[in-house]
A and B are shown apart, each in its own frame.
Chain A
């Protein structure tokens, strides 16, 4: 149980285009999903916290207009990188936590590698 999927697993796009990444909890309901970014040889940095039915909360320094997050249901959150630039190239990882266990254990997706040319 507690499987989280991400789609796509990797994407290459041209500079200026927008890219949407999906995060799904496959066998549980998640009121909260988290989006992280990881640059090569670095650690995971939390970008934003997504709660079902409400606006996402962004970490300091993360542009909310550039990284649009939608958490429309208890099993799906999407991250859209708008007007992507080469510096947005990174590994994006989502995680989800159970409804009743507030954040105690987060289940991570396999990640999406984004390369912006």
Chain B
């Protein structure tokens, strides 16, 4: 079942701007992952942050994790038109090692 909620549901920004989206979850987790999905396509794994980590970077991506608040954020800096996609957080639950996906944020980057 889904345990993550993401906000905003949709985000529209100008090319070059930063995009920030948030994810909240409910249960104890082993790690939290972010994925990108282009319209009608499969998932692309972006970044994984473990429960004992607070921040992680990968290229233009920055992820934070606050386990006390059960929340995470994904920041995409200097956005490009190619970043237009839906972004999902997914938590790997500690009790059963199953991934639970958030509702997703649809990001549109205007040229």
Interface residues of A (CB under 8 A from B): 34, 36, 42-46, 49, 59-60, 91, 93, 95, 102-111, 113
Contact = CB atoms under 8 A, between A and B. Distances in A.
Interface string B17-40: 000000000000011010100001
A75 B33 CA distance: 24
Given A104-B30, A104-B92, A110 B101 contact: no
Contacts of A110: 41-42
A107 B45 CA distance: 8
B104 A93 contact: no
B101 A43 contact: yes
B1 A59 contact: yes
Interface string B96-107: 011111111000
For chain A, what secondary structure do more than half of its interface residues adopt (helix, strand, loop), or is it mixed? Answer: strand
Contact of B88 (A44, A46, A91, A105): A44
Given A44-B88, A110-B41, 14 more contacts: A34-B99, A43-B101, A44-B90, A45-B1, A46-B98, A46-B99, A91-B40, A93-B42, A93-B43, A104-B48, A108-B42, A109-B42, A110-B42, A111-B42
Contacts, number: 53
B2 interface: yes
A43 B43 contact: no
Contacts of A93: 42-43
Q: Which bucket holds chain B's interface residue count?
A: 20 to 34
Nearest to A2: B45
A111 B41 contact: yes
Contacts of A46: 1, 98-100
Contacts of A60: 1
Contact of B97 (A44, A102, A107, A108): A102
B106 to A, nearest CB: 8
Contacts of A102: 97
The 4 closest A-B CB pairs, nearest first, are: A103-B97, A110-B42, A108-B43, A44-B101
A115 to B, nearest CB: 12
